[in-house]
A and B are shown apart, each in its own frame.
Chain A
Amino acid sequence: MHRYRVAIVGAGIIGASIARILSMYENIDVSLIEKEPDVGWGVSKANTAVIHPGHEEDPKSYPLRARLCKEGNELWREWVRELDIPAKWPGELMVFTSDEEEKAAEKYIEFAKVNKVPGVRVVYREELRALEPTVNPDALGAVYAPTAGMISPMEAVIAIVENAVENGVKLFTETEVFNVRVSANRVIGVDTNRGFIEADVVINAAGLYADKISNVVGVDTWFFIKPRRGEYLLFDEDVDIKPTRILHTVPTLVTKGVYVVTTVHGNLMIGPTAEDLPVDAREATLTTREGLEYLWREAGKILKVLPPRSRVIRTFAGLRPEPPNGQWLIKAYDSPWGFVNVAGTRSPGLTAAPAIALHVLEQMRSVFDLRLVKKEKWNPFRKDIVRVRNRSIEEIDRLVETNPDYGEILCYCRMVSKAEVVEAIKRMKAIGVKTITVDGIKFRTYAGMGKCQGSFCRWRVALLVSKYTGVPLESVVVKRGSYGVGDVKLLLRGRAAKGQG
């Protein structure tokens, strides 16, 4: 039995999904390589979190996107159950407010037919209001697509990686790939800041940087990525405007529409904007006054009542990897043999991720003629962290009986216990995270995601990180920087010793 060593560049939703699929095989050794301290910190971190039905993809211009979007929507329903990922399936309403918009919206009914997306139809005033009471009464109608869903994308990446590692994938964090080594027209591995990693197959899922990786290999040199920024408004969970369905405006040539959703964690969220940035602005996740004002205006077209501005708890922005002409570049190359591009997977990339992973496997099988043997014992399941939140007091009491740390609440806003934070640290270590960050814990436990945005709990979480990793409190990493710059007493003593105090 021939063994294949596969290196996947990028542990976002795409790289992680591919790793999970490849982990089903006995004779593949997978290295999942990520430049950040944790998984999912690129494109996967900040997006609309919608699992699209597939009726918005033009089957003529984007047949691959259309097919994988619909397949991905179906696969996610399995994946979220197997991996215990927060998800819901409320369906979506593309709301139109004028005859022009109605005309533009009709085309998606046609797309739905060709793409075989079930249940898509136009609903008018009364039915629209019945489906969604929070909708603006001026709305004429909407295209209803009942198969739309929402997930928590960061938790999805984390869950998939935990499951993949459980099934033998090796994760390398803080490992940046700067070269793909090719010898005799075959890839032989990747050069990283932490040394050379051997591989027979290199899969490029580097998100915003996928064009750089592709270019060093020298294939499809026309390909490049343009970052497209999307800004968002996130509201306090106590805001009572909570649409049941996913709502959005009709896409135009310029934008894909602004969404108004209730996240799986119960927060109203509005976004995104769509702003094309210069090709080198790949870290420009800043928010702008203009962008946020645009969101308020667009949301006003969809919603009957806008929430008060004072209830915004966070504004943020993410970048989407926009390829030339919107075409995904998913391809296994025989020259050099062993290279695979999964690049420019802009929306609906999140939706399609599981289907993309299967598609990549098929490409690899046919181009590389892989002889794969399925594992006898592949574990499809992963359990989420057990949480105090949303449980009855009787259930919480039983949890505390099993572990008193469940009885110590660290984050008041989101009711997160010490036990959950300790479990998150344990799980981060288990997948191979080297630097335990406060942000990494936030994404796993929601500590710091409430209305006080961590001002009451950040130091408590940082203290636990310090305790369980041996890193001094001031050196605990929050996102990318340290919590503090020094020990107050040491600084004073140091100065006194030098006679400068």
Chain B
Amino acid sequence: MSNLIEERYDVVVIGGGPAGIAAAIRATELGLKTILLENRDVLGGIPLQCVHPGFGLHYFKEDLTGTQFIHRFFERMERIGVEYITSAHVHSIEYRDYMEKVVNTITRKGVLRLYSKTIIYTVGARERTLFEIGVVGDRPDGIYTAGEAQTMMDIYGVLPGKDVVIIGSGDVGLIMARRFALEGARVKAVIEIMPYPGGLMRNVVQCLRDFNIPLLLSHAVISIAGKKRVEKVTVVKVDEGFRPIPGTEFEIACDTVVIAAGLRPNIDLLERLSIAIDPATGGPMVNELLETSIPGIFVAGNALVINDLADYVVEQGEKAAEGAKIFIENSGIPAEEWKPVKRGRNIRLAIPHYISGERSVTILARVAKPEQRVFVEVPEVGYKTFHMAVRPAEMIRLDLSKDALSKAEKSVTIEVKPIAYRA
């Protein structure tokens, strides 16, 4: 029959970015037979092309560039001896039974059938495209997603264009605006459909204000024009419902459009296994050890939820590896009951989706709209912290102890409550 190469593992980690590398290191440290698979010819994922600082402040208590940050993990990998393959593309995942999955992997040496008790899925996100955000008009050259433009500039040294309009003011858009400005390109504007910036405040200041780059809030690019190359974009002001306000259209001449309109968890392989998806995150539903609705398949990093910081991504990778260890030792994650984490007032998303109450848990949540002077509360367990401001761009992190969580009976609710107005 078939003479495909077969191997057996405790853990197969799919995706060699920060989440996958952290997961593979931790799993190997825990004594699990682990292999890390990466599609590109190098490990490292997106941080490789991030020459800006802001990485590692939580994890290493140091301000590192993306490249420095990821190199720290390369050193660890080497020390511990993590097994990995690059230029390895996962063709499909087969779920055979509770303790056996197969990861079919295409490599230059042939197709590998990797049998594994667990899988940690860390393939990251993809960028939303022009067509997903409803831009019409011509389709000339000179339109790039932010990630593609960053790869061109910081891996291959190619300047994509000179007069740039950036769609989206998330961190990716802000950082690319500065990156273009540093290379001598003119960033004509950053266009944001929301009434507030989508990225961290420090990035608004350091990337736009310091370079005099205009940020147009409550505006949208509605069409692109150009024969060979982009020649201009048409921008319009939008109302609270994001509908274009007639008569407010104006044009910006440019040769380049960079789309930084957000990321979507890349879950194609999991979707084909009919995994449960959370519409709010676009990623899988998970329990406190980041196990998905399919037993023994864990997910971490931007494939789980779009994170603000690579530091969080690394923590998720490590958490998933600990989950894999518990899963293998107990033939499943032991929990008497899974209690849902509910989204209360002004909470758009929260990770994880289920908790047992038997372990300490870090909850990451995002608000739906910005607010000032609020309490973030979990009423069932008596958790309450004060925040000067909450913004959709910045994840709220709640560290809940096992003791506190044991008080929750049926569920826990995350909610944001304004301080009562004092006259």
Q: Could you list which residues of chain A lie within 8 angstroms of chain B, going by C-beta atoms?
A: 238, 283, 285-289, 292, 310, 312-316, 388, 393-394, 396-397, 400-401, 404-405, 407-409, 412-413, 415, 417, 451-456, 458-459, 463, 473-474, 478-489, 491-492, 495
Q: Which of B224-232, B312-320, B384-392, B409-417 contacts A (4 or more CB under 8 A)?
A: B224-232
Contacts of A413 in B (CB 8 A): 268
The answer to whether A491 touches B183 (Cβ under 8 A) is yes
Contact B129 A453 (CB under 8 A): yes
Additional A-B contact list (17), CB under 8 Å, known A408-B108, A481-B228, A484-B152:
A289-B222, A394-B4, A394-B111, A396-B91, A400-B110, A415-B89, A454-B148, A455-B129, A456-B148, A458-B148, A463-B156, A478-B141, A479-B141, A483-B152, A485-B162, A487-B157, A491-B183
Closest to A459 in B: B151
Among B17-25, B130-138, B336-344, B398-406, the stretch in contact with A: B130-138
Check B129 against A485 for contact (C-beta < 8 Å).
no
**Would you call A488 and B159 a contact (CB within 8 A)?**
yes
Q: Which residue in B87, B111, B183 is a CB contact (below 8 Å) of A396?
A: B111
A483→B156 CA distance, assembly (Å): 12
- Complex: A492 Cα to B142 Cα, angstroms: 21
Q: When chains A and B are docked, how far (Å) is the Cα of A238 from the Cα of B107?
A: 25
Q: How far, in Å, is A389 (CB) from chain B's closest CB?
A: 10
**Assuming A408-B87, A409-B89, A481-B228, is B159 touching A315 (CB within 8 A)?**
no
Cβ B111 vs Cβ A400 within 8 A? yes
The smallest beta-carbon distance between B206 and chain A, in angstroms, is: 21
**Interface range, B side:** 35 or more
Q: How far does the Cβ of B149 sit from chain A's closest Cβ, in whole Å?
A: 9
Q: Is the C-beta of B2 less than 8 angstroms from some C-beta in chain A?
A: yes
Q: Is the CB of B157 within 8 A of A393?
A: no
Evaluate whether A292 and B39 lie within 8 angstroms (CB atoms) in the complex, with A397-B110, A400-B106 already known.
no
Given A238-B271, A289-B222, check contact A393 B91 (CB 8 Å). Answer: yes
Which residue on chain A has the smallest CB distance to residue B271?
A: A238
A–B Cβ pairs within 8 angstroms, 25 of them: A238-B271, A286-B138, A288-B136, A313-B132, A316-B139, A393-B106, A394-B4, A400-B107, A404-B108, A407-B87, A407-B107, A407-B111, A409-B39, A417-B106, A455-B147, A456-B148, A474-B158, A479-B141, A481-B140, A481-B141, A484-B152, A484-B158, A484-B159, A485-B160, A487-B158
| B422 interface contact, C-beta 8 A | no
| Cross-interface CB contact of B268 among A238, A388, A401, A489, cutoff 8 Å | A238
Q: What is the CB-to-nearest-CB distance from A385 to chain B, in angstroms, rounded to a whole number?
A: 17
Q: Is the CB of A456 within 8 A of B126?
A: yes
Contact of A315 among B106, B107, B131, B142 (CB under 8 A): B131
A407 with B152, Cβ < 8 A, contacts A485-B162, A487-B157 known: no
Q: Is the CB of A495 within 8 A of B184?
A: yes
Q: At the interface, is chain A mostly helix, strand, loop or mixed?
A: mixed
Are A452 and B159 in touch, CB under 8 angstroms? no
Q: Report the nearest B residue to A394, measured CB to CB.
A: B2
Question: Does B118 sit within 8 A of A, measured CB to CB?
Answer: no
B34 part of interface (Cβ distance < 8 Å): no
Does A451 contact B126, Cβ atoms closer than 8 Å?
yes
Write out, one digit per residue, whether chain B residues 94-114 have a CB within 8 A of any chain A CB (1) or not (0): 000000000010111111010
Interface residues of B (CB under 8 A from A): 2-4, 39, 87, 89, 91-92, 104, 106-111, 113, 126-127, 129-132, 134, 136-142, 144-145, 147-148, 151-153, 156-162, 183-184, 222-223, 225, 227-229, 255, 268, 271
Given contacts A314-B131, A484-B159, contact A400 B39 (CB under 8 A): no
A315 touching B136, Cβ below 8 Å: yes
* Cross-chain contact B91 with A474 (CB below 8 angstroms): no
Complex CA gap A397/B147 in Å reads 32
- Determine the distance from Cα of A388 to Cα of B229 in the docked complex, in whole angstroms: 33
Chain B nearest CB from A43 CB (Å) reads 16
B104, A393: Cβ atoms under 8 Å?
A: yes
| Complex-state Cα separation, A252 to B40, whole angstroms | 52
Whole-angstrom distance from the CB of A475 to the nearest CB of chain B? 9
Tell me the bound Cα distance from A434 to B107 in angstroms: 32
Which residues of A lie under 8 Å from residue B111 when comparing CB positions? 393-394, 396-397, 400, 407
Judge whether B184 and A286 touch: CB under 8 Å.
no
Q: In the bound complex, how far is the Cα of B138 from the Cα of A267, in angstroms?
A: 22
Query: In the complex the two chains form, is A481's CB within 8 Å of B142's CB?
Result: yes
Q: 10 closest pairs, A vs B, by CB?
A: A481-B141, A409-B89, A484-B158, A407-B108, A455-B145, A397-B111, A481-B229, A480-B228, A404-B108, A474-B158
Q: Are A480 and B141 also in contact (CB < 8 A) when A310-B132, A491-B159, A495-B184 are?
A: yes
If A452-B126, A491-B184 touch, whether A287 touches B109 (CB-CB below 8 Å) is no
Cα A384 to Cα B228 with chains together (Å): 30
Contact call A286/B110, Cβ cutoff below 8 A: no
- With A394-B4, A482-B141, A491-B183 in contact, is A313–B129 under 8 Å at CB? yes
* Chain B residues with CB below 8 A from A456, complex form: 126, 147-148
Q: What residues on A are CB-neighbors of B147 within 8 Å?
A: 455-456
- Min CB gap B124→A, angstroms: 10
User: Bound state CA distance, A407 and B109, in angstroms?
Assistant: 7
Complex contacts, B271 vs chain A, CB 8 Å: 238
Residue of B with least CB distance to A309: B134
Q: What's the minimum C-beta distance from B146 to chain A, rounded to whole angstroms? A: 9
A491 to B153, alpha carbons, bound, how many Å?
12
In angstroms, how far is the closest chain A Cβ from the Cβ of B277?
12
Q: Contact: A388 with B106, CB < 8 Å?
A: yes
Determine whether the beta carbon of B138 is less than 8 Å from that of A483.
no
In the assembled complex, which residues on chain B have CB atoms less than 8 Å from the CB atom of A478? 141
